[in-house]
């Protein structure tokens, strides 16, 4: 089981954490939402929970809860810039379909 990050995603998270001035790492999770069933959740983590699994890649800790790990195993978090738009991209090998707007997915 693993969650990885591209160089650009790791740099972006490190910058966010540095500017924030605190934080253990970044939580990656899923929640029920959208037209396809699930949506990604990203949030900063100040305190770990007992049920958390911690992955470290390129100096950044990615924290995942047990429920989400089933859906996220093997995912690479990337940070991309496309024209004037920029944001995190999830390269998740587990998804079977995504909604047209790209906000949710199904496994």
User: Which residue ranges are tagged as binding site?
Assistant: 35, 99, 101
| Whole-angstrom distance, CA of residue 96 vs CA of residue 24 | 32
Both tokens assigned to 40: 């990604």
Provide the annotated binding site for Fe cation. 35, 99, 101
């Amino acid at each position: 089981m693993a969650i990885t990050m591209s160089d650009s995603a790791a740099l972006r998270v490190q910058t966010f954490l540095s500017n924030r001035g605190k934080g253990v790492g970044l939580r990656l999770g899923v929640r029920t939402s959208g037209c396809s069933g699930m949506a990604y959740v990203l949030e900063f983590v100040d305190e770990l929970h007992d049920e958390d699994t911690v992955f470290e890649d390129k100096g950044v800790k990615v924290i995942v809860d047990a429920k989400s790990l089933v859906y996220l195993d093997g995912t690479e978090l990337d940070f991309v810039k496309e024209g004037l738009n920029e944001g995190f991209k999830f390269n998740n090998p587990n998804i079977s379909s995504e909604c047209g707007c790209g906000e949710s997915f199904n496994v």
